[in-house]
Amino acid sequence: MAPRAVDGEDARLATSILTRSLRLRRGESVIIETWSDNVPFAETVVVQARRLGIRPMVLYEGETSFFESQRVAGVADAAAIATPELAALATTDAYLYLPGPADLHRWAELPEARRSAIDRWLTTWNRTARDRAVRACYAFFATPSESSAREFGVDLDAWRRETRTASALDPADLRRSARRIAQRLRTGRRVTVTHPNGTELDLALAGRVPFVEDGSVDEDDLRNGHNWTVLPGGFIVVALDERVADGKFIANRPSAHNRGLNAGIRWTFRGGRLTSYVSDDPTGVFTASYRAAGRERERPAILSVGLNPHLHHAPLQDDQILGMVSLFIGSNDNLRGRTRGPFRDYALLEGADVRVDGHPIVSAGEPV
């Protein structure tokens, strides 16, 4: 499988990732980890890196061999990350992940013990990357596959075009579009979210610094412990005051997870706690994780506003759609909140009004 032309769309996107998202310079190194479906794009990144004087190394995970190893190997052996990979990670400047596996249904069928073992090893991986200040990028635009498109009920070609276009946005443009909202979220106290569908929710802020996901990792990000970015980028997020939430939040877009869609979400809060919920959860993922969670499941956690004008129907990136309001419950300590725990989930609301201390930051689904 040969890489695409060096002056084509994929080549331009690869160059943007290397220079704008990962901020790589001549003489620096990048690890590109890819699964089977994304080998052609990985090869394009290699070509563009070498054109720029950047030193690439490719890690390959074959989808067939991955699932076969899960069948024949012990849990610990099949999940473990090789020591040389961690050693390479500790000495690279940047890392690009082209995700897999493509077959989400087959991944969902793996025993929970195997997925948990993989998650534990990934915690070690992430700690190494953070401690070494590795600039890392998760390429969600590489997620679309025939299997995942069937899983989410979307057109594969349209999904691919949309996410690639959205990934090519200049991070500086996204930062500018977030500036006013960030100021309101940083200094405000009270947040109201309303919608004609019956959503009326009062929330509170706690003076925490909002995080703007602009599709790049800079020095400020690293100083604040944010060594990962995602593509497409385009949202602003803040940890809420975990003690305040009253009213209803009624989602009107399904939440996409690696194991399917969760639709029809209706959350009711009183006195800072989730007191009841309704959801159409055909896979049982939300219900199972919610029932297994601790008290963190009751707490409002995070508020997010989407900033990307090129996203419209992109599973796993719906929260980045321009003006999309996302409410998370559960843990928020990753954004310097006070709630810890393994549980976190989210619901999406399109076309909402959001006010901070009476000032609109989103009006009928449009940032203002």
For range 133-151, the mean pLDDT: 92
For 294, list phi and psi in degrees, rounded to 5.
-90, -160
Q: What is the pLDDT of residue 335?
A: 93
Q: What is the pLDDT of residue 184?
A: 97
CB 239 within 8 A of CB 191: no
- Domain residue ranges in the chain: 9-142, 171-367
Q: What is the pLDDT of residue 105?
A: 82
Q: What is the pLDDT of residue 285?
A: 72
For range 226-240, the mean pLDDT: 96
3-class state of residue 82 by DSSP: coil
Q: What is the pLDDT of residue 152?
A: 85
CB 33 within 8 A of CB 97: yes
What percentage of the chain reaches a pLDDT higher than 70?
A: 97
Q: Quick one: tokens of 351? A: 């076309």
Helix (H) or strand (E) run with residue 95 in it: strand 94-98
Summary mean pLDDT of the chain = 93
Q: Which tens digits make up the pLDDT trace of 251-297?
A: 999 888 766 678 889 999 999 999 999 988 776 777 888 888 999 99
3-class state of residue 229 by DSSP: strand
CB 349 within 8 A of CB 325: yes
What percentage of the chain reaches a pLDDT higher than 90?
A: 80
Q: What is the pLDDT of residue 6?
A: 58
Angstrom CA distances, 302 to 2, 96, 101, 102, 338, stand at 43, 26, 28, 29, 11
Q: What is the pLDDT of residue 108?
A: 81
Q: What is the pLDDT of residue 260?
A: 66
Q: Which tens digits make up the pLDDT trace of 315-354?
A: 889 999 999 999 999 999 999 999 999 899 999 999 999 9
User: What does the buried/exposed string (b/e) look like for 330-352 if buried means 16 or more CB atoms within 10 Å of the residue's CB?
Assistant: bbbeebebebebebbbbbbbbbb
Q: What is the pLDDT of residue 258?
A: 63
Q: What is the pLDDT of residue 150?
A: 86
Q: Is the pLDDT of residue 4 over 70?
A: no
Between CA 165 and CA 161 the distance in angstroms is: 6
State the architecture of 9-142 in CATH terms.
3-Layer(aba) Sandwich (3.40)
One DSSP character per residue, 144-211 reads --HHHHHHHT--HHHHHHHHHHHHTS-HHHHHHHHHHHHHHHHH--EEEEE-TTS-EEEEEE-SPPPE
Q: Is the pLDDT of residue 212 over 80?
A: yes
Q: Which tens digits make up the pLDDT trace of 76-125?
A: 998 888 999 999 999 999 999 999 999 888 888 899 899 889 989 998 99
Helix (H) or strand (E) run with residue 223 in it: helix 219-223
Q: Is the pLDDT of residue 142 over 90?
A: yes
User: What does the buried/exposed string (b/e) look like for 125-134 if buried means 16 or more CB atoms within 10 Å of the residue's CB?
Assistant: eeebbeeeeb
Q: Quick one: tokens of 160? A: 């691919």
Q: What is the pLDDT of residue 156?
A: 94
Greatest alpha-carbon pair distance for the chain in Å reads 59
Q: What is the pLDDT of residue 256?
A: 80
218 Cβ neighbours under 8 A, 6+ residues apart: 23
